[in-house]
Amino acid sequence: MVAMGVFPAIYSTLSPQALIEGVLTEYELGKINQCLFWHRGLSDIYLIETAHNSYILKISHHHWRSQSDIQFELEFLDFLNRHNLPIASPLKTKSDELCVTIHAVEGDRYAALFPYAPGEIPQGDLNLEQSIIMGETLGRLHQTSLQFRNRTSRQCLNLKYLLDDSVATINPYLRNHTQDKSYLRETIYQIKQQLSCLGKTAPLWSVCWGDPHSGNVHFTTDNQITLFDFDQCGYGWRVFDLAKFLQVSLSAGINRKVRDAFFEGYENVQPLTEAEVNSLQALTQVAHIWAWAISIKASAVHNWSRLDDFYVRRHLNQLKRLSSQDWQLF
């Protein structure tokens, strides 16, 4: 066996104690009572508690986000906060930086600290009032984002990224599904045809949240909202955010009245054009295909065993439902 210093890794779980001693000292927090590994998604989430406050430490995955990606996201959140949008905004370090670089065994990762958003995720999903508020807030976000001027680059939410790159990720898992592979190819063609007339200029094209759904907001008891988790943000069609909300809501079986209330709230602030309304079904399919590819990439690192035939069949069936005439009725 060849001797090596540190065995290579594709992913590591960072020590909470090391984070206290080597990352959190970069912030003015005072004494830290605990640092808990809280959740693993597209980032690793740690819950930080001091004597008086709670915080969220979000640490990127080396295989998922570059430094430029992270910097864009954090600068956008800082911008929204300065324009009085109710979002969880990153705190700055003692040296006025928005993130801290961590030299993990698999490569560089980036840590950002956020105040814990007041309230909690809605229990049993959104009620009608909360759905309207969330839609209105997204409308305000899109209006405000038109003023944002990025200093760092990030992948746009265009069809090459959302569809072509996603299909390249999905196709190897369809090698035993020849007919389904053909169906996916034809569906992609139809989607592109339907979206060919949707313009890529402001105000239709702006910075999107990328992942608006009820799991990424907190509401207080008096319905004050805070948005968080902008990991999938980027320049794209603003209506894609509404399609993403639909995709998640339809997958979760959210009530039609709740979905309609979200659109009512959005259009109270930011009316949609006819072209945007006509693009919703196609973009909801795009959101599903993109989410499917993201889940494959994450599973290939963390849980390969879930990528079985049932997994493939479930995602294909959902895409077929979203392509049907009755796509909003389930």
Query: Are both 93 and 157 inside the same structural domain?
Result: no
In a domain, 155, yes or no: yes
State the burial class of residue 81 (Cβ atoms within 10 Å of its Cβ: 0-12, 13-18, 19+): middle
CATH number, residue 26: 3.30.200.20
If asked whether residues 68 and 204 sit together in one domain, one would say no
Same domain, 77 and 157: no
| 228 is a domain residue | yes
Q: Among 249, 277, 276, which residue's Cα sits nearest to residue 261?
A: 249
Task: Say if 8 falls within a structural domain.
Answer: no
Q: Confirm whether 1 is domain-assigned.
A: no
Query: By residue range, what is the domain housing residue 76?
Result: 16-115
Question: Do 132 and 254 share a domain, yes or no?
Answer: yes
Q: Does residue 151 sit within a domain? A: yes
Mean pLDDT of 183-188: 96
- Judge if the upstream peptide bond of residue 203 is cis by omega within 30 degrees of 0: yes
Residues 303, 193 share a domain: yes
Co-location of 188 and 225 in the same domain = yes
Q: What is the per-residue pLDDT for 214?
A: 95
Give yes or no: residues 40 and 187 share one domain.
Answer: no
**pLDDT tens by residue, 60-111:** 999 999 999 999 999 999 999 999 999 999 999 999 999 999 999 999 999 9
Among 88, 115, 142, residue at a domain's last position = 115
Nearest-CA neighbor of 134 among 144, 147, 125? 125
pLDDT in tens, 18-42: 999 999 999 999 999 999 999 999 9
Q: Does 33 share its domain with 138?
A: no
pTM: 0.95
**Domains identified in the chain, total number:** 2
